[in-house]
């Protein structure tokens, strides 16, 4: 069985690929591959192993030998799934590999925004502490999380882990009904929004969740509320959220994802990092704990058994 990994560098240089190597007769490794290079590089492959490389219908149709695609992630939107099914190519992804890592990152954002860490760090960097008339700075009102209300969208493994961590801080947790779900009897996000102190998103990007957090939804929240998105870019309307943050209609904003990644042409949230806002933007790295990345390899090795 010949397997070709197209974007091995996306796992990092410190990850051991031997669990995959031990499952195949030959593993060809490419650190980076463009969509245009994929057909040539997969020409002799029985298995394609990809993270974010796009495999279009045209590419898959040109690969009669290909029998399995192993995705090094949960999302499969970079694969033309209908073409793969039509051509008899199996697609296997990995799930729940980064639960601890992403939950930790989400909690970090909640804690940092609650403490107004970005704003106080900026104050210290600008020398404002040095000139304070007394021993501390207290210009920015912080949020004690104990007893506060966390609303989570997405009650999967990740949402439940974040809930458990938040409950350890003494927070009260509610799960919103699944957006677009018609048989979900939990309260809707719109109903929960007015009482929420923190909203954390852990749902997929779908038609029902695209711009779930728009200007109208933001208007339902307290001006002090914190908004965390470690799910997918596009679930929030970033421009509306930034406007609310600048106008003190939102207490804090933390995102690990943007609609286009990497943001080659920039993004308003990146430009806003130079302002003194309670804003955190991280480069889609909530998942990157070494344990999580190694787990991806182990789960992918199991997925190779689909050809046994």
CATH number at residue 28: 3.40.50.720
Are 170 and 213 found together in one domain? Answer: yes
Same domain, 59 and 105: no
The phi and psi torsions of 221 (rounded to 5 degrees) equal -90, 160
Per-residue buried b or exposed e for 52-75, using 16+ beta carbons within 10 Å of the residue's own CB: ebebeeebbeebeebbbbbbbbee
Q: Do 168 and 30 sit in the same domain of this protein?
A: no
Do the strands 226-229 and 198-201 form a parallel or antiparallel pair, or are they unpaired?
Answer: parallel
| Domain shared by 39 and 83, yes or no | yes
pLDDT of 265 reads 96
Same domain, 128 and 233: yes
109 and 45 fall within a common domain:
no
User: What pTM was computed for the model?
Assistant: 0.92
Over residues 149-174, the pLDDT tens digits come to: 999 999 999 999 999 999 999 999 99
Predicted pLDDT at 189: 97
What's residue 116's pLDDT?
A: 98
Residue 48's DSSP bridge partners are: 4, 69
How much is the pLDDT for 237?
A: 98
- Check whether residue 158 and residue 88 sit in a common domain: no
Low-confidence ranges of the chain (pLDDT < 50): none
Give me the pLDDT at residue 139, please.
95
Residue 93, domain extent: 2-97+290-307
> Do 195 and 298 reside in the same domain of the chain?
no
- Tell me which residues are annotated as active site: 232, 261, 284
The count of structural domains within the chain is: 2
**Separation of alpha carbons 196 and 173, rounded Å:** 9
Same domain, 89 and 106: no
Tell me, yes or no, whether 180 and 51 share the same domain: no
Task: Specify whether 202 is located in the same domain as 89.
Answer: no
SS (H, E, C) 29-54: ECCCCCHHHHHHHCCCCCEEEECCCC
89 and 113 together in one domain: no
């Amino acid at each position: 069985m010949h397997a070709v990994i197209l974007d091995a560098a996306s796992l990092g240089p410190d990850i051991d690929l031997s669990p995959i190597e031990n499952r195949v007769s030959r593993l060809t490794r490419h650190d980076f591959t463009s969509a245009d290079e994929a057909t040539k590089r997969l020409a002799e492959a029985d298995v394609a192993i990809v993270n974010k490389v796009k495999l279009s219908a045209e590419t898959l149709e040109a690969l009669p030998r290909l029998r399995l695609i192993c995705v090094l992630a949960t999302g499969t939107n970079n694969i033309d799934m209908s073409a793969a099914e039509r051509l008899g190519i199996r697609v296997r992804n990995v799930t729940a590999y980064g639960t601890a890592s992403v939950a930790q990152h989400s909690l970090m954002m909640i804690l940092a925004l609650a403490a107004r860490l970005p704003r106080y760090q900026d104050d210290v960097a600008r020398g404002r502490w040095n000139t304070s008339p007394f021993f501390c700075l207290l210009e920015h009102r912080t949020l004690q999380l104990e007893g506060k209300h966390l609303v989570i969208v997405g009650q999967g493994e990740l949402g439940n882990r974040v809930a458990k961590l938040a409950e350890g801080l003494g927070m009260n947790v509610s799960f919103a009904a699944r957006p677009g779900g018609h048989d979900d009897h939990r309260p809707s996000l719109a109903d929960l929004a007015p009482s929420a102190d923190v909203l954390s998103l852990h749902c997929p990007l779908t038609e029902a969740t695209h711009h779930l957090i728009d200007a109208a939804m933001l208007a339902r929240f307290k001006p002090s509320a914190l908004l965390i998105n470690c799910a997918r870019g596009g679930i929030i309307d970033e421009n509306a959220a930034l406007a609310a943050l600048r106008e003190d209609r939102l207490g804090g904003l933390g995102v690990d994802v943007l609609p286009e990644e990497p943001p080659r042409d920039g993004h308003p949230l990146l430009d806003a990092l130079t302002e003194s806002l309670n804003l955190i933007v991280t480069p889609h790295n909530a998942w990157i704990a070494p344990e999580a990345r190694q787990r991806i390899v182990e789960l992918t090795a199991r997925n190779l058994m689909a050809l046994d």
